[in-house]
Structure 1
C-alpha cells in the first residue's frame, strides 16, 4: 500500500489550494521556518512525513510566476534528497493563464534537485476554476476537473497499489 503526503504551500487559510490537503505549511511555526530551525519538533515531524511517503502531492498558488515563498521555506528545510525514490504530483493555481508555466519552469527543477524519482505531469488551473459550494465543499469547474482527474490517475498509477494518506499523527 503506497502512502501519499499532500502538501499545501499556500499562506492563506481560504486558499483554493488548501482545500485539498492535510499538511498546510502555513500551520508550521513561522519562527522555525524563517529561522531555519531544522531541529524544531514540527520541522522534524514534517521531515518524517516526507520520509515515510511513497508519493507527494505538492499544491501551491502561483505568485510572480513562481511557487509560494512559504513552500520554498519548507523545501529549504528538508534534506537535500527528501524526495528521493518518490513520485511527485505538482499542482498550482493562479490568477491568469500567464502563470501556466510556473509548474514546469519554477517548481519542477526544485523537485528534481531534491531527488524525485518521477514527477508526473503537473496541473495548473485558474483560481476561478476552484470554488466552494454552499456547504464549503470544494467544487472544481468541469473542464478543470477532467484535467485534474487525468493527472491524478497518472500519479496514482505510479506509486502502485492502493494508497493511504499520511497524517501528522501517523
Structure 2
C-alpha cells in the first residue's frame, strides 16, 4: 500500500494534536499503509529559526516527503491559523514539496470559531506547495480528545464517526492514486 508521512505541527509536548495523529496513524496502519510519524517540535530549533533548508534534519524531512505517497498534516489552531512551528517547517521545504501527494489536513482547537482555519489558512499553503489532491480536512475540538491512563486515545463518538469517514476517504484516495500510477 501507500507510505504516509504524518506531520504534527504542535509545539506542545503534551499535545492533543499529536495524540490524535498517532491514533489515526494506527488506523491507517491497520488499513495496510506504512505510516512515518514526524513531530516538527523534535526538529532542531536552530534549523527552523535559522531558516536553514540545508540542515540535515530538514534534508531528512525532504527525503521523507519525496518517499511518501500521502501526507497527513495536523496542527493546533492558534489565533485562527495553523501553528507557527508548522509554518516554519513548511517555509523551509521546496516550493513544490507536495507535488503528486494526496494530503489530509487536520486541526485541533478549543472552540468551533476556528473550524475554518483549515480551509482559509492551511489548505491554500498545501495547494501552493503542489499537492495533487487535498482531501476533505477535519477540525476536532480539544475536549473531544481524551487520553486514558494507559495512553489509549479516545475520540468523542460525535467526532469519531465523521473523522473516521474523512480518514477512510484519504485512505481510498491513496489507494486510487497508487492504482493509477501502476496502470
Query: Per the shorter chain, which TM-score range?
Result: over 0.9
1:46-70: CA deviations, max 9, x gaps?
1110111100000000000000000
CA RMSD of aligned residues (A): 1.2
Question: What is the match of residue 136 of structure 2?
Answer: 121
Q: Per-residue deviation at 1:2?
A: 1.1
- Whether 2:145 is the aligned partner of 1:130: answer yes
Q: Per-residue deviation at 1:31?
A: 0.6
- Whether 2:99 is the aligned partner of 1:94: answer no
- Whether 2:112 is the aligned partner of 1:106: answer no
Distance 2:85 2:66 in 1: 20
Q: Per-residue deviation at 1:159?
A: 1.2
Q: Per-residue deviation at 1:138?
A: 1.1
- TM-score, normalisation: structure 1: 0.93
Structure 2, unmatched stretches of 5+, are 23-36, 179-183
Match of 1:53 among 64, 68, 89: 68
Question: What is the match of residue 18 of structure 2?
Answer: 18
My pick for the range that moved more, 26-35 or 14-23, is 14-23
Q: Per-residue deviation at 1:118?
A: 0.4
Query: Matches of residues 144-163 of structure 1 in structure 2 within 5 Å?
Result: 144-160=159-175
- TM-score, normalisation: structure 2: 0.86
Distance 2:38 2:145 in 1: 19
Instruction: Find runs of 4+ consecutive structure 1 residues off by over 6 angstroms.
Output: none
- Whether 2:155 is the aligned partner of 1:140: answer yes
Match of 2:94 among 74, 79, 84: 79
Structure 1, unmatched stretches of 5+, are 164-170
Aligned residues: 162
Which structure's residues are more often helix, by fraction?
2
Distance 2:163 2:13 in 1: 22
